[in-house]
Amino acid sequence: MGDALALNPLFLFPCSYSALPLTLSNAGQLGNAQKHSRPTRMERERVSITSISKHACLLLLALLFFIPNSETSLFNPVQKTVIITNNHTNYLSVRCFSFDNSYPVHHLKSKELFGFRFRPNSVFPSMTMFNCSTNMGAFVAYKYDYECASDPSNKCQWRFDQNQTYLYHESMGEWVALDYNPNYESLEKGGVVKGRYTNKK
């Protein structure tokens, strides 16, 4: 009995019985009645309301079946992760931010790492971009067209030494050296941070 109720559309949607298609017996009775009299204005309006209600129910059914609701759907995109590792012998001071989000300054010791997660804009992917300012310069930590943005791990992993940044290429299994290349428009929100050094407390 419980399974039958679960599959019955009358129990799935808040639609009245009048919104459902006519049965054969009802259709026959309606046909006989129409032979003897023309429908009144009220009856025509009732039919219109019934038709609208039926289409509303069909629309609700379509929405429930075709709008995805999983964690990886268009309306709930996969989480991305940015990881920054200090591969320098000194402190690395880093602050990451986007047009919509901002993180505090982190002072990373040698070999220490910092990471954060976010969900990119699924409708306009190019609107999601993270810059990171450091005491050595600034760089774009995440862009929609980066190779790491489509990696199976969903991670963009960075390393820093004294002179360069390195981005991990998952497909090649190696670190690739990159120059500092900030997006200057978004740098107005952050700027280059003041560093902390091992010879200072």
Residue 99 has a CB neighbour count (10 Å cut-off) of 14
Q: CATH assignment of 80-190?
A: 2.60.40
Mean pLDDT value across residues 23-43? 56
pTM exceeding the 0.95 threshold for the entire prediction: no
Mean pLDDT value across residues 50-55? 68
Residue 137 has pLDDT above 80, yes or no: no
Q: What are the structure tokens assigned to 39, written together?
A: 């429908």
Residue 97 has pLDDT above 50, yes or no: yes
Residue 177 has pLDDT above 60, yes or no: yes
Residue 61 has pLDDT above 90, yes or no: no
Residue of 192 and 7 predicted with greater confidence: 192
- Can you say how many angstroms the Cα of residue 96 is from the centroid of all Cα atoms in its chain? 20
Specify the pLDDT at position 14: 44
Residue of 26 and 140 predicted with greater confidence: 140
Q: How far is the C-alpha of 75 from the C-alpha of 124, rounded, in Å?
A: 12
What's the 3-state SS for the chain?
CHHHHHHCHHHHCCCCHHHCCCCHHHHHHHHHHHHHCCCCHHHHHHHHHHHHHHHHHHHHHHHHHHCCCCCCCCCCCCCEEEEEEECCCCCEEEEEECCCCECCCEEECCCCEEEEEECCCCCCHHHCCEEEEECCEEEEEECCCCHHHHCCCCEEEEEECCCCEEEEECCCCEEEEECCCCCHHHHHHHCCCCCCCCCCC
- The pLDDT confidence band at residue 71, using thresholds 50, 70 and 90, is very low
Q: Where are the domains of the chain?
A: 2-66, 80-190
